Amino acid sequence: MAEMPYIDLDKCDSCALCIPVCRCGALVLVNNVITLIETEKCGWCCECEEICPLSAITCAFEIVFADE
Ligand code: SF4
Ligand code: SF4
């Protein structure tokens, strides 16, 4: 199973702002509910997390710099 961002549907108001920023088409509205389609193409760009005005998307992927 591909790792994907997490959407908190209690926060999401289905504004759809996140859909056009997703480069892999993983975000769609299904019956007016934002839905993530699992895809290996998710580039973990986290644009969806950044654009969401309600902080409803959490991108699990953080860039961590290893100690030198
Ligand atoms: S992290 Fe990027 S590619 Fe993945 S679902 Fe969000 S916007 Fe789409
Ligand atoms: S931008 Fe945020 S509030 Fe709007 S549809 Fe996407 S997850 Fe929901």
The residues near 16 (Cβ < 8 Å, ≥ 6 apart) are 29, 34
pTM of the entire structure? 0.86
Residues in the chain: 68
Q: Kindly state if the Cβ of 54 falls inside 6 Å of ligand 2.
A: yes
37 DSSP assignment: P
Q: Is the pLDDT of residue 1 over 80?
A: no
Q: 54 with 11: CB under 8 angstroms? A: yes
Q: Render pLDDT for 18-59 as a digit per residue (tens, 0 to 9).
A: 999 999 999 999 999 999 998 888 988 999 999 999 999 998
The finding on whether 35 has its CB within 6 A of some atom of ligand 2 is no
Q: Closest Cα to atom 3, ligand 1: which residue?
A: 42
Largest CA distance in the chain: 49
**Domain 6-58: assigned CATH number:** 3.30.70.20
In 1-68, DSSP assigns E strands to 6-7, 27-30, 33-36, 57-58
CA-wise closest residue to 46 among 64, 22, 15: 22
Say how many Å lie between the CA of residue 22 and the centre of ligand 1.
5
